[in-house]
Structure 1
């Protein structure tokens, strides 16, 4: 037998989401992405300095 504390009291609607939508700034704050972008930036800087001063 089901006691009163075990009755289903759901209303049929999903509760409002508590998590906010995450945008581009959240994605950019991830360490692997920042390491990748730093490596690409350093490679571009080295290539541009090579073109400027050695060619």
Structure 2
């Protein structure tokens, strides 16, 4: 399923046909910060960092 996303977002290097003078502009999907945050590797990384911070804060509060 990730391959379809990568293939769709690849740069199109084909030359446009010069016989058609009224070619439609390509549709770009607007994407914001929430799209970047929804990526699984980033979410795993943020979860690991969050768990480490939580463990460190609990250690400081309860054991020191």
TM-score (norm 2): 0.63
1:45 to 46, 50, 54: 54
Q: RMSD of the alignment, in Å?
A: 1.8
Residues 26 and 54 from structure 1, CA distance in 2 versus in 1: closer, same or farther, beyond 3 angstroms?
same
TM-score (norm 1): 0.72
Unaligned runs of 5+ residues in structure 2 are 1-17
Higher RCO (CA-CA < 8 Å; seq separation 6+): 1
What does residue range 9-48 of structure 1 map to in structure 2 within 5 Å?
9-11=19-21, 15-48=24-57
Which has the greater radius of gyration?
1
Q: Which portions of structure 1, spanning 4 or more consecutive aligned residues, are displaced by more than 2 angstroms?
A: 13-17
How many residues align? The count is 47
